[in-house]
Structure 1
Amino acid sequence: MSAPTLDMGRVRAITLDLDDTLWPVWPTIERAEKAMRSWLSHRAPVAARLSGDTQIQRRLRDAAVADHPAIAHHLGDLRREALRRLLVESAEDPALAEPAYRVFFDARQQVDLYPDALTALEALSARFPIVALSNGNADVHRVGIGHFFRAAVNPAITGFSKPDARIFAAAAAQAGVSPAQVLHIGDDAQLDGAGALAAGMQTVWINRRDERWPAELPTAPHAEVASLTALCALLR
């Protein structure tokens, strides 16, 4: 599959994924869940023990979405509701769901940036307005990088998740440009790459793990790089 040609002359703004683009997400989530379990262990020990069971967590989340479809795109509300259900099943106080979630959320903001992230953010933000565009619930201001961004967009704000074209359109609107004037940068071929392309954006795929672009996706990205350092060199 031949890739479309990247046209930097069209680019007036950048939308940028966060998780696994600026930092590895799963170590962050695992630390946050560990912090939450530790907090619960002194207040709701049964729920704390069961919270590490992925099958139970999946069942509770599926049930929460089935009963409350509106929270499917709001990771915070979904996790809180799953926690509440876990506490009820454990015969422990469901009111603990909110403070337990706050422990998780606070720890979720403690990320370990990739070594090339800050340099890239400085270089990109000096040239373009940047809008954070993530399906996650990291807060760029609490992470400490908010000053690089014009705005931040996620499903809790828009009601849509990547690869839905509407979340990309919302991010372009925050930058004050049309989707055709945006370069989207992210690590997920389907959510970031195919989603941005379908929304009319140009896209660069950050492929840190040397993966193949999925053959089932109809269009290749405009460019592929192995790091944010390589991205900055490409965009010079």
Structure 2
Amino acid sequence: MYFPIRAITLDLDDTLWPFAPIGARVEQVLHDWLLQHCPRTAQRFPIEAMRALREAVYTERPDLSHDFSQLRRLSLVRAMELSGDDPLLHAEAAFETFYAERNRVEFYPDALPALERLAARVQLAAISNGNADLARIGVHHHFAFQLGAREHGTPKPAASIFHAACTQLAMSPADVLHVGDDIDMDVLGAHRAGLRSCWLNREGHAWPHDSIRPDLEFTTLGALADWLDAADPANHLHSNVQPDTAAA
């Protein structure tokens, strides 16, 4: 399969690293911090109760559905107010404890070597609905920029966030390949915005749609780097992978 690309935009959670271990760990780390600094909050809102409160705050504030950090802050303030702890003294420190742990990620084994290889060939940018911080994580030097739903104001799969990234890259959507794990947010979102799409299908799921398919499909980011290494000098890219790993 041949088509030119000039840049790659990448999803983060479950594309470069698995999110589930982070999600479980941050709740425990935050609860341990509350036990030490806000024991009344920790007692009234153990992990399950804090999770339920957070979901309630999310439901109340659909206007902030693109800003997980602010929703987390509001949840902590609410929990402290209800428990008799002072959020002015503790909420920001609690959030920082959560956020530091949220940015302690364990990359998929292929991800870091693949990032280096991809960044050596084309510009990379991150597009994420989450609140990971590439500078804190230590890989920002591979990326031209990071565009989050919080900064943009609208999450994927809205076309506007993909178009905003293309504008920052000073490129046409057709010249950009978006890579991500989520079928709706990443593949269909990018396709509808006019970008090329690559489904990072690490678990080997079957593609569920008949009318739309990703331009590419791989089980690792390293396989995408192999695909990119097959480029000719004009950057007209072609696939040397087997038919079941690259979509036609």
Cross-structure match for 1:40: 34
TM-score by length of 1: 0.90
Alpha-carbon offset, residue 233 of structure 1: 2.0
Q: Does 1:220 align with 2:213?
A: yes
- Root-mean-square deviation (CA, aligned residues, Å) is 1.6
Residue of structure 2 aligned with 1:75, choices 68, 71, 76: 68
Structure 2 runs not aligned, ≥5 long = 231-248
Alpha-carbon offset, residue 223 of structure 1: 1.3
CA contact (8 A) 2:9 2:127 kept: yes
CA separation in 2, counterparts of 1:73 and 1:139?
A: 15
CA separation in 1, counterparts of 2:120 and 2:172?
A: 20
CA contact (8 A) 1:16 1:132 kept: yes
Residue of structure 2 aligned with 1:113, choices 74, 87, 107: 107
1:4-41 alpha-carbon deviations (Å, 9 max, x no partner) = xx5432x1111011110000112122222222111111
Structure 1 runs not aligned, ≥5 long = 1-5
Alpha-carbon offset, residue 156 of structure 1: 1.2
CA separation in 1, counterparts of 2:212 and 2:40?
A: 48
Cross-structure match for 2:222: 229
- Aligned positions of 1:135-146 closer than 5 A: 135-146=129-140
1:152-201 alpha-carbon deviations (Å, 9 max, x no partner) = 00011100100000011111122221211100000001100000001000
Cross-structure match for 1:17: 11
Code of the residue aligned with 2:106 in structure 1: it is D
Code of the residue aligned with 2:219 in structure 1: it is A
TM-score by length of 2: 0.86
Cross-structure match for 2:241: none
Cross-structure match for 1:173: 167
1:117-174 alpha-carbon deviations (Å, 9 max, x no partner) = 1111111101100001111111111111111000000011100100000011111122
SS at match of 2:69: helix
Cross-structure match for 2:3: 8
- Aligned positions of 1:42-191 closer than 5 A: 42-49=36-43, 50-53=45-48, 54-63=51-60, 65=61, 69=63, 71-95=64-88, 96-191=90-185
Moved more, 47-56 or 105-114: 47-56
Code of the residue aligned with 1:209 in structure 2: it is E
Alpha-carbon offset, residue 91 of structure 1: 2.4
Which stretches of structure 1, 4 residues or more, deviate above 4 A after TM superposition?
A: none
- Number of equivalenced pairs: 225
